[in-house]
Chain A
């Protein structure tokens, strides 16, 4: 209460994240969680990966995951078949994909308008992040997420019919699926490191800063 009545001077209460950054951060986080859970669930129906246009259990796999499958037709070495959860998983995956695309477009448009990228993420800016952080965030935002969306769309037979180059650029629909999986691994690794760094720098204050947008100077890290 005391703090509310006597606002701290501006330099003590830095405005760390804009409302757009905070809202799109949490929307993207929610979408990514939905995409990850539903994506892993879909993979369980065929935990084998291929290169090229076509691949199935009668063709050699590039690699396969040592997990049980939700289809009896996939030889996994396990003596049981998991329940089929692909229906809702696929619909949730695509709904979350739409949501993350809209979130991303809004974030990028707002980021250009407010010079968020120039000030906080491009290497020459003067914001709070170091070079490795800037490059990682830029890579996740402008390379990994767009590539995940592209490889996801490249698996669609309808998209392939209208934009065949989107598929052939990857060497085929099964190649696109395999790369989609590796991009997921990269994004999961990013999330893990992101969470570790935040925990080390002070989980509570940083999460609060991403929710309220405000942080005290001593907590800026």
Chain B
């Protein structure tokens, strides 16, 4: 082995060791600052984690674009029919009296709100873009109570890290980190374009997370659970989306 080859080997080995330990340190730091998504343990974990970490660092306090009234799409596209079972139809028919939104988990004052309660809270309206991962989109005015308001009302505990939200559709629940949960534009929405939120668009209550794609905006929500550990829910991936191959974080 010539001197030059040996020197190159040593140098390459040192560079590889430095690179590997650099990556390990970066991964530990990212984990400590909540920059690793709960569904990182697969083939695409590196890409998903880079996307989540990069977008989190850049968009911690950024505001989703809001549009003038003239931009509102003529039709807020309805992507698929609502649940068709008897229980849902009954609940929907008596929503004003029977629909409840429970808030539990890491909160000092767990609560259960009726639609009237939710409508009595300070409301926010915003004209935002809703984009589906498939590529279509529409712009609409959404009205609702900021999720942050419900979390302060129920006195979220300091160790909280995520808010999990459940729907009457058992296979569609999701969660967001506190950056999105406390974001002023994240709404528990009940109104669309000045009227009640139509059934097809997720009425009576839909989570509206305008800095993420459509599938994070779960329809027909009934329960919010504040937690510090997503492993306790379902398969531990933070959402049902990863079970269908979709990433938990949908900022892109």
Contact = CB atoms under 8 A, between A and B. Distances in A.
Interface of A: 42-43, 45-46, 48, 53-59, 71, 73, 84, 86-88, 90-92, 94-99, 153, 155-162, 164, 167, 173-174, 177
Given A45-B134, A59-B75, A92-B44, A161 B65 contact: yes
Nearest to B138: A54
Nearest to A71: B134
A74 B77 CA distance: 12
B131 interface: yes
B76 to A, nearest CB: 9
Interface stretch (B50-58, B112-120, B147-155, B218-226): B50-58
Given A43-B135, A57-B77, A90-B247, 18 more contacts: A48-B135, A53-B129, A54-B73, A55-B137, A58-B75, A59-B73, A91-B43, A95-B44, A99-B47, A153-B252, A157-B213, A158-B62, A158-B211, A159-B252, A160-B64, A160-B65, A167-B65, A177-B135
B10 interface: no
Contacts of B241: 87
A162 B136 contact: no
B131 A158 contact: no
Contacts, number: 131
Interface of B: 42-44, 46-48, 50-51, 55, 58-59, 62-65, 67, 71, 73-75, 77, 79-80, 129, 131-139, 210-213, 241, 244-247, 251-252
Main secondary structure of the interface of A (DSSP, over half): helix
A152 B132 CA distance: 14
A91 B136 CA distance: 18
A91 B42 CA distance: 10
Main secondary structure of the interface of B (DSSP, over half): loop
Nearest to B47: A95
A159 B51 contact: no
A55 B63 CA distance: 22
Given A158-B251, A167-B65, A86 B137 contact: no
18 contacts: A48-B136, A56-B137, A71-B134, A86-B245, A87-B241, A90-B133, A91-B245, A155-B131, A156-B55, A157-B210, A157-B211, A157-B213, A157-B252, A158-B59, A158-B211, A160-B64, A173-B131, A177-B135
A86 B133 contact: yes
B131 A157 contact: yes
Given A46-B136, A173-B137, A155 B75 contact: no
Contacts of B131: 155, 157, 173
Contacts of A162: 58-59, 62
Contacts of A54: 71, 73, 129, 137-139
A59 B137 CA distance: 10
Contacts of A98: 46-47, 50-51
Contact of B71 (A53, A91, A155, A161): A53
A173 B44 contact: no
Contact of B252 (A86, A96, A158): A158
A51 to B, nearest CB: 12
Contacts of A177: 135
Contacts of B129: 53-54, 157, 160, 173
A48 B135 CA distance: 9
